[in-house]
Amino acid sequence: MTGTRFTVGLTGGIGSGKSAVARLFAERGVDIVDTDRIARGLTAPHGAAMPAVLAAFGDGFADAAGALDRAKMRALVFADPAAKRRLEGILHPMIRDAVLAESLLGTGPYVIFDIPLLVESGTWKSRVDRVLVVDCPEALQLERVIARNGLPEAQVQAIMAAQAPRQVRLAAADDIVDNGGAIAALPPQIERLHSRYLICAEGKVRND
Ligand SMILES: CC(C)(COP(=O)(O)OP(=O)(O)OC[C@H]1O[C@@H](n2cnc3c(N)ncnc32)[C@H](O)[C@@H]1O)[C@@H](O)C(=O)NCCC(=O)NCCS
Ligand SMILES: Nc1ncnc2c1ncn2[C@@H]1O[C@H](COP(=O)(O)OP(=O)(O)OP(=O)(O)O)[C@@H](O)[C@H]1O
């Protein structure tokens, strides 16, 4: 990637700790572009994707306020790969455009794209300078998501089955954050990575 700021693609399976890691970079002044946040905005009441989503899936997928009924859509797409492809076909191009637009706005030393599906989607790898994977054992992902969302174990398993396996994601990593331990183990790892990324960002500015 040339002509843009140094960009890190942050990824990891559901519940691996991407948001916790992104927060620590944000505290250090790094710009974060979060695709889950963008996707939620697109499917909020009057969100830009809602007309296309309802045309494809039916008005029954909107709640009373006109937002996406997320629980209903979650139950559908993680049980029906064709429906998942249809939803992604609507949302992913809109998410991609919004990410690239938002990345131009920040003023931090570099930018992190928080993209759960970076490894799966194929389109992002060439748009980031480094891939940072947040890793933890799958049993911990399961435990943390159930504790956070109260989702049934089978539904979390279905979401994990729709994502790249841990080893495939790790094979795509330039850098890895180990989140298999306590939250307190994160800051020293983020501090080390941040120091290195600042040097990379500086180098990129000089070479541009
Ligand atoms: C299916 C939806 C409605 C479920 O909403 P819900 O509020 O339960 O989940 P939320 O959006 O907070 O996502 C939570 C996590 O689910 C996983 N996930 C979401 N979408 C997908 C997907 N298409 N494939 C695999 N995993 C996914 C990610 O790990 C994500 O971090 C929602 O995730 C959605 O609109 N997904 C399609 C858009 C998409 O692919 N988003 C991923 C970021 S690009
Ligand atoms: N090291 C840890 N120890 C205990 N709990 C943790 C740890 N890291 C994260 N968590 C908790 O696990 C849950 C998932 O973490 P987080 O939301 O950061 O993951 P995520 O990868 O962003 O998830 P998603 O893919 O669903 O957006 C949160 O409730 C978070 O507080």
The tens digit of pLDDT for each residue in 45-102 reads 989 999 999 999 999 999 999 999 999 999 999 999 999 999 999 999 999 999 999 9
Residue 20 marked ligand-binding = yes
Same domain? 101 vs 172:
no
Residue 103 lies in a domain: yes
Q: CATH number for the domain including 121?
A: 3.40.50.300
Same domain? 184 vs 199:
yes
Residue 204 marked ligand-binding = no
Residue 35 lies in a domain: no
Same domain? 121 vs 20:
yes
Same domain? 71 vs 26:
no
**CB 12 near ligand 2, within 6 Å:** yes
Q: Could you tell me the distance, in angstroms and rounded to a whole number, from the CA of residue 132 to the centre of ligand 1?
A: 19
Q: According to the model, what pLDDT value does residue 158 have? A: 97
**Which of ligand 1's atoms lies nearest the C-alpha of 36?**
43
Residue 208 lies in a domain: no
Residue 16 marked ligand-binding = yes
Same domain? 103 vs 119:
no
The residue out of 59, 74, 107 marking a domain boundary is 107
The residue out of 107, 128, 151 marking a domain boundary is 107
Same domain? 71 vs 134:
no
Same domain? 7 vs 76:
no
Main-chain dihedrals φ then ψ at residue 80, nearest 5 degrees: -140, 95
Q: According to the model, what pLDDT value does residue 152 have? A: 95
**CB 74 near ligand 1, within 6 Å:** yes
Encoded tokens for 127: 């748009």
DSSP 3-state of 12: coil
Same domain? 72 vs 91:
yes
**Which of the ligands is closest to the CA of residue 20?**
2
Pocket-testing residue among 54, 74, 85, ligand 1, by greatest number of atoms within 8 A of Cβ:
74
Q: According to the model, what pLDDT value does residue 104 have? A: 92
Q: According to the model, what pLDDT value does residue 144 have? A: 97
Residue 36 lies in a domain: no
**CB 163 near ligand 1, within 6 Å:** yes
The residue out of 86, 107, 128 marking a domain boundary is 107
d(CA 202, CA 175): 19
Same domain? 199 vs 159:
yes
Domain span holding position 184: 1-30+110-203
**Which of ligand 2's atoms lies nearest the C-alpha of 114?**
22
d(CA 134, CA 119): 12
- Mark the ranges of the chain whose per-residue pLDDT is less than 70: 1-3
Number of domains in the chain: 2
Rounded to the nearest 5 degrees, what angle is found at the Cα of 124, between the Cα atoms of 118 and 126? 135
Same domain? 20 vs 118:
yes
Instruction: Report whether 172 contacts 119 (CB < 8 A).
Output: yes
Residue 130 lies in a domain: yes
**ipTM > 0.95?**
yes
